[in-house]
């Protein structure tokens, strides 16, 4: 099981990022810890890093977003591992952001962390309603999370 660490602005802003290669500081690589974004200030700093480091002369940054919602930790399935690993291998993203309350666990998650070093957990609460309408299905909640990121950046 991986340990989750908090990052500070200084650490985030000094990370050497390029779309072809993500270099983490030696502590993260050595201990295989996850970086977690937990508050608005860290989120703003993450957006700054994406703007500065993840654009490759194209209108859209090379950043992959996964929405992983649920209050309970869920075990990562093989097809989910394959999805993230394929993105890493063929798209060469600058960052892979997992949006949600918790991260997955299990053997595929552990394996993923050994082969994909640029995963960041953006900690958010699952939306419960939108304009007074209750969201019952996880798919609808995930749609709202994607809209929040696209329109508001949370």
Q: What is the pLDDT of residues 52-91, one digit of tens each?
A: 888 877 888 889 999 988 767 899 999 999 999 999 999 9
> What pLDDT is recorded for position 31?
39
Residues in the chain: 154
Instruction: Indicate whether 33 pLDDT > 60.
Output: no
Percent share of the chain, pLDDT over 90: 27
pLDDT > 70: what percent of the chain? 74
More confident residue, 115 or 12: 115
Question: Region 3-10: what's the mean pLDDT?
Answer: 33
Question: Residue ranges of the domains in the chain?
Answer: 4-152
pLDDT at 153: 63
Which pLDDT belongs to residue 2?
34
Q: What is the pLDDT of residue 11?
A: 36
pLDDT in tens, 81-125: 999 999 999 999 999 999 888 899 999 999 999 999 889 988 888
pLDDT beyond 60 at 22: no
Helix axes of 107-115 and 78-86: crossing angle, nearest 10 degrees: 10
């Amino acid at each position: 099981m991986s340990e989750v660490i908090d990052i500070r602005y200084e650490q985030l802003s000094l990370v050497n990022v390029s779309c072809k290669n993500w270099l983490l500081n030696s502590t993260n690589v050595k201990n295989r810890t996850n970086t977690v974004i937990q508050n608005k200030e860290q989120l703003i700093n993450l957006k700054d890093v994406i703007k500065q480091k993840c654009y490759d002369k194209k209108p859209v940054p090379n950043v992959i977003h996964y929405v992983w919602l649920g209050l309970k930790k869920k075990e990562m399935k093989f097809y989910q591992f394959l999805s993230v690993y394929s993105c890493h291998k063929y798209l060469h993203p600058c960052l892979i952001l997992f949006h949600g309350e918790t991260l997955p666990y299990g053997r595929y998650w552990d394996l993923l962390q050994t082969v994909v070093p640029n995963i960041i957990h953006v900690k958010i609460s699952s939306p419960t309603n939108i304009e007074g309408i209750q969201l019952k299905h996880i798919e609808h909640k995930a749609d709202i999370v994607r809209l929040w990121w696209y329109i508001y950046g949370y």
